[in-house]
Amino acid sequence: MKKHVPALLGTSLIVAFCVIWLKRFFDITSWSVNYELITNNVFCFIYLVWQIFELRVSLREKADKYADYGTRELYGASQSATILLALWFASPEKRPLALLISSGFLLLAGIFVRAWAIRTLGQYYSHSVRTLHGHKIIDTGPYHFLRHPAYCGMLLAHAGVVAFFFSIPALIAYVFGLVLTVVLRILVEERMLIKLDGYADFALSRKRLVPKIW
């Protein structure tokens, strides 16, 4: 049952996201602002496609041992809270097209970094903190620069979400939910990773999330 949790969380997020997106679509059409309608729907479509990709990753979960200590559920809940609150409380005021486009690029940059990290790890990537038989350290691709580029991509993408659909509830969910949960999850994950041969040396040569900072 435990291995199905990421898939259940991902499916729930997609369903809730689509419901709120549909509501927002009809709200926007009543404004009669063409660029708002187009950019909102393009942004939401990109986010939906990304989450479907993430769901496919969850469906292939395999592990010898899990060591999440509840952080997986917190992580999923904080991600869901950030996007759903952002959509629900999005300001009806018109925003500059340049802001909408730059927020969209931030979303795409985050998705790219995360997808690159997932592809680089291959079979070793998981939405769960777990070990596989013969687990080894990967130091190529984005892992040449950071220890946890997939989490970095997640935070970048959702920074774009908060900027695009700005509201105080979404900002609070992002800063005090997603960011803090990612930090906690990294610390839990590294308790397991430090036991792998070579991880200590790997960790000494690169930061976790932000180059030269942390």
pLDDT tens for each residue of 21-58:
888 777 766 655 567 778 888 999 999 999 998 888 77
**Is domain 67-204 given the CATH code 3.30.70.260 in the classification?**
no
Question: Could you state, in order of their start, the residue ranges of all structural domains in the chain?
Answer: 67-204
pLDDT tens for each residue of 73-126:
888 899 999 999 999 998 767 788 888 899 999 999 999 999 999 999 887 777
For 132, list phi and psi in degrees, rounded to 5.
Answer: -120, 155
Other residues' Cβ atoms within 10 Å of the Cβ of residue 51: 19
pTM here is 0.87
DSSP conformation letters of 14-75: HHHHHHHHHHHHHHHHTTT-HHHHHHHHHHHHHHHHHHHHHHHHHHT---SEE--TTHHHHH
pLDDT tens for each residue of 165-213:
999 999 999 999 999 999 999 998 888 888 888 888 888 888 999 988 8
